[in-house]
C-alpha cells in the first residue's frame, strides 16, 4: 500500500503520518524531515538546501526525486510506505507515477487534508516539536502538559526556523503556486479522498482508518 498525504503546510500531515504509520507498521517518508536531517548533519546536500528551505521556497525537483528513489528502494519499504510532503510539484507527481510503475508498486491512495488558508498561519507559528522523538505540539490546540517541554522526553520543545511568520507566508505562497496544481493531477483518481483537516487529529485519524480499512480488507481478499 502506498499512501500519499497531501495538503498545505500546517494541515496536519506530520501528526496524521505518525498515527497512520504506527497503526499500519509502514515507514513514513517525509522529504522535509530528510532534508532537515541533511542540514543538521552538515552534509554538502544540507548546505546546498539550507538557504532555500529557510526562505520558504522549494528544493529542486531532481534532487528531491533522487533522494526519494534511494529511500523507497530500501527493504523496509517493500510492504508499502507513506509519503508526507512529496510530491510537491506536478513534475514530482509525474516522476512518482513512473517510479511506482517501474517498481511494480500499487497506485497511491491519496488523502488530501484540506484546511482553509486563513487557519494555517496561526497553526504554523504556534507549532512546536520535540527534537528527540519528533512529537508535534500546538500551543493553541494541543499544548504539552508542562509548558515548553515534551510529554515523552521532558526535553525543551523547539520552533522550526521556517515556522516564523514571514517564512510561513512565503511557504503558503509557494504552496498555492507550485503545489496546489498537483491536486488536478490526482483529483480524478479512483483512490483520491478529500478530508476536512480543520477538526481534531483523533477525529481525522478515525476518518482515515475508515477509508483505509475496507481497502486493506479488499487487498487481503485478493491475495
Site residues for ligand ADP per CB under 6 A: 9, 13, 30-32, 35, 52-53, 57-59, 64, 85-86, 88, 92, 162, 171
Supply 76's cell numbers.
523496509
SS3 state at 157: coil
Q: Which is nearer to ligand ADP, 9 or 144 (CB)?
A: 9
Q: How far is CA 128 from the centre of its chain?
A: 16
Whether 171 is a known active-site residue: answer: yes
Catalytic residue among 36, 123, 128, 171: 171
CB of 171 to ligand ADP, least distance (A): 5
Which residue number places its CB atom closest to ligand ADP? 32
CB of 163 to ligand ADP, least distance (A): 8
Whether 88 is a known active-site residue: answer: yes
Q: Which is nearer to ligand ADP, 41 or 104 (CB)?
A: 41
Q: Which is nearer to ligand ADP, 196 or 215 (CB)?
A: 196
Interior/surface letters 160-186, b for 16+ CB within 10 angstroms, e for the rest = bebbeeebbeebbebbeebbeebbebb
Strand order in the sheet with 81-84: 28-30, 81-84, 2-6, 109-114, 192-196
Q: How close are the terminal C-alpha atoms of the chain, in Å? A: 13
Positions marked catalytic:
13, 88, 127, 160, 171
Amino acid at each position: 500500500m502506498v499512501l500519499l498525504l497531501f495538503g498545505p503546510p500546517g494541515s496536519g500531515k506530520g501528526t496524521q503520518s505518525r498515527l497512520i504509520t504506527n497503526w499500519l507498521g509502514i515507514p513514513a517518508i517525509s522529504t522535509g524531515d530528510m532534508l532537515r536531517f541533511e542540514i543538521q548533519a552538515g552534509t554538502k546536500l544540507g548546505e546546498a538546501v539550507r538557504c532555500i528551505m529557510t526562505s520558504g521556497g522549494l528544493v529542486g525537483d531532481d534532487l528531491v526525486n533522487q533522494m526519494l528513489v534511494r529511500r523507497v528502494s530500501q527493504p523496509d519499504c517493500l510492504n508499502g510506505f507513506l509519503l508526507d510532503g512529496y510530491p510537491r510539484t506536478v513534475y514530482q507527481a509525474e516522476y512518482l507515477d513512473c517510479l511506482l510503475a517501474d517498481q511494480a508498486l500499487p497506485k497511491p491512495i491519496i488523502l488530501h487534508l484540506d484546511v482553509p488558508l486563513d487557519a494555517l498561519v496561526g497553526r504554523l507559528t504556534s507549532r512546536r516539536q520535540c527534537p528527540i522523538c519528533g512529537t508535534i505540539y500546538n500551543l493553541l490546540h494541543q499544548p504539552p502538559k508542562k509548558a515548553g517541554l515534551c510529554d515523552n522526553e521532558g526535553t525543551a520543545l523547539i520552533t522550526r526556523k521556517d515556522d516564523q511568520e514571514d517564512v510561513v507566508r512565503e511557504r503558503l505562497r509557494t504552496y498555492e503556486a507550485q503545489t496546489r496544481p498537483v491536486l488536478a493531477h490526482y483529483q480524478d483518481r479512483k483512490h483520491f479522498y478529500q478530508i476536512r483537516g480543520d477538526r481534531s487529529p483523533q477525529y481525522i485519524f478515525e476518518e482515515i482508518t475508515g477509508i483505509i480499512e475496507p481497502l486493506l480488507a479488499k487487498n487481503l481478499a485478493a491475495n
